[in-house]
Amino acid sequence: MTKRLLTGQVLSFAADPFHAPLDEAVQVDTAGAVLVEGGRIAATGPAAALRAAHPEAEVTDYGQDLICAGFVDAHVHYPQTAIIASWGKRLIDWLNSYTFPEEISFVDPDHAAEIALRYCDLTAANGTTTFVSYCTIHPASVDAIMAEAQGRGQRIVAGKTCMDRNAPEALQDTAQSAYNDSKRLLEKWHGVDRLSYAITPRFSPTSTPEQLAALGALWAEHPDCLMQTHLSEQLDEIAWVRSLYPQARDYLDTYEAHGLLGPRGLYGHAIHLEPRERARLAEVGASLIHCPTSNTFIGSGLFDMAGLMAEGQRIGLATDTGGGSSFSMLRTMAAAYEIGQLRGTPLHPAQLMWLATQGSARALHMDHQIGNVAVGMEADLVVLDLASTPAIAQRAARAEGVWEAIFPTIMMGDDRAIRATWINGRPA
């Protein structure tokens, strides 16, 4: 088996920098190396020692570039690739004006395949190695993204979006067909190579209680699957949920009452939570997915990272393309930083990097497989050029310490900062 040795500055985590002191949680080896063999990380350590121990390894020297775990984007809509950056609407209008018309075109499997390919190219160019995607209601939209990722050896999670009301007729399934199609797709893709299936009710307003219950039943039959949905993104949406589910105690209860609250649940946005919702989410150990560029772009609100972390919530980070305005997890980290500032709680660059890698992987219960540079982990890596533009280079040149060298790339970096993306032990 070919051994490859990547040398450069290597960033790895020993603990969660939200809950452990920085010097214990994170390490940057300025003359480090990563040995990759058979799609896994076989060793990490000082470059000189690993070169000496593995003289047969093919060496790629990344110089002063930063080698870290590939980015894990915990909430995206790949079918919205072509409508990213659509102007001027808030959530419900934005769905009706841009999103639903585009999703209707996924009835054509060739269109789905074309956008799946485009999406995977764009994310690889941005250093993202794993993403969790909503598809459309069309089963072929799931086949398209799964097949594309499978061909690249990529670890992804995806699921058929289910909607049986409050959406155009062409985008509606039924409670029964959503159950049947999701079950068939799950049996086809879940656990095949590096692919996982997520049961995917879009959100409570576009599902009847019958559909939520059918998908809750499917999840109970397949508890090892993830379940993804949206929760408390905008105030208008929450008011709409209240009117559609008058018996529910709150938004979360619309899921809870139908078997859709569990530790493997991913709840996107989770901005305007009630105290009961926060307590239940923490008690269950469910995952909240922070989508900062989306939350500012659609005008949704400011996620309470510091408060939710202090409560011990499990939190991942995501672009939410195309409600989010970027494919880049660097840009997404920058937006998370800015939202932290607006709440008076700035995030340390180590915390931002953790959220984009280990934190998101932990939200997916995949932190033992991806999201860190450590022996035995799958070899999904991103190599960052910390001087990718003149503006970044001149700031990084003044850095006192490694975090000051990394932070300008987090705040100002984009796909030009991505020197290389390695997926499954191979350069993408």
Q: Is residue 294 a contact residue for ligand GUN (CB under 6 A)? A: yes
Q: How far is the CB of 323 from Zn ion (least distance, A)?
A: 6
Which of residues 91 and 330 has its CB atom nearest to Zn ion in the complex? 91
* Residue 95: strand, helix, or coil: helix
Q: Is residue 323 a contact residue for ligand GUN (CB under 6 A)? A: yes
Which of residues 295 and 358 has its CB atom nearest to ligand GUN in the complex? 295
* Residue 4: strand, helix, or coil: strand
Q: Tokens 């190579």 belong to which residue?
A: 193
Q: What is the dihedral of CA 330, 334, 335, 337, to 10 degrees?
A: 140
At 34, give phi and psi (nearest 5°). -130, 125
- Under a CB-based contact definition with an 8 Å cutoff, are residues 372 and 41 in contact? no
Range list of β-strands (E), 89-235 = 128-134, 156-159, 161-162, 195-201, 226-231
196-235 footprint of ligand GUN as x/- string (CB under 6 A): ------xx--------------------------x--x--
Q: Is residue 251 a contact residue for ligand GUN (CB under 6 A)? A: no
- Under a CB-based contact definition with an 8 Å cutoff, are residues 381 and 6 in contact? yes
Which of residues 82 and 374 has its CB atom nearest to Zn ion in the complex? 82
Which of residues 129 and 161 has its CB atom nearest to Zn ion in the complex? 161
Q: What is the dihedral of CA 309, 321, 204, 106, to 10 degrees?
A: -150
Cα–Cα distance measured from residue 80 to residue 101, given in angstroms and rounded to the nearest whole number: 10
Q: Is residue 77 a contact residue for ligand GUN (CB under 6 A)? A: yes
How far, in whole angstroms, is CA 259 from its chain's centroid? Answer: 23
Helix, strand, coil percentages in the chain from 3-state DSSP, rounded to 5:
45, 25, 30
Contact of residue 272 among Zn ion, ligand GUN, none (CB under 5-8 Å per partner type): none
Q: How far is the CB of 43 from ligand GUN (least distance, A)?
A: 41
Q: How far is the CB of 201 from Zn ion (least distance, A)?
A: 12
Secondary structure letter of residue 70 according to DSSP: P
Q: Is residue 380 a contact residue for ligand GUN (CB under 6 A)? A: no
Name 328's Cβ contacts closer than 8 Å, sequence gap at least 6: 126, 127, 319, 413, 414, 415
Contact of residue 233 among Zn ion, ligand GUN, none (CB under 5-8 Å per partner type): ligand GUN
Interface with Zn ion by CB under 5 A: which range of 100-108, 124-132, 314-322, 409-417? 314-322
Which of residues 41 and 270 has its CB atom nearest to ligand GUN in the complex? 270
Contact of residue 144 among Zn ion, ligand GUN, none (CB under 5-8 Å per partner type): none
Cα–Cα distance measured from residue 289 to residue 234, given in angstroms and rounded to the nearest whole number: 15
- Under a CB-based contact definition with an 8 Å cutoff, are residues 302 and 257 in contact? no
Contact of residue 32 among ligand GUN, Zn ion, none (CB under 5-8 Å per partner type): none
Cα–Cα distance measured from residue 115 to residue 253, given in angstroms and rounded to the nearest whole number: 35
Q: How far is the CB of 190 from Zn ion (least distance, A)?
A: 21
Q: What's the token pair of residue 274? A: 């009630």
Contact of residue 54 among ligand GUN, Zn ion, none (CB under 5-8 Å per partner type): none
- Footprint on residues 250-309 left by Zn ion (CB under 5 A): 268
Which of residues 229 and 424 has its CB atom nearest to Zn ion in the complex? 229
**Options 9, 99, 126, 154; binder of ligand GUN; rule CB under 6 A:** 99
Q: What's the token pair of residue 376? A: 């035995």
**Options 29, 148, 173, 320; binder of ligand GUN; rule CB under 6 A:** 320
> CB-side exposure of 88: number of CA atoms within 13 Å?
2
Interface with Zn ion by CB under 5 A: which range of 47-55, 177-185, 312-320, 327-335? 312-320
> Residues in the site for ligand GUN, rule: CB under 6 A?
77, 91, 95, 99, 202-203, 230, 233, 294, 298, 320, 323
> Residues in the site for Zn ion, rule: CB under 5 A?
268, 320
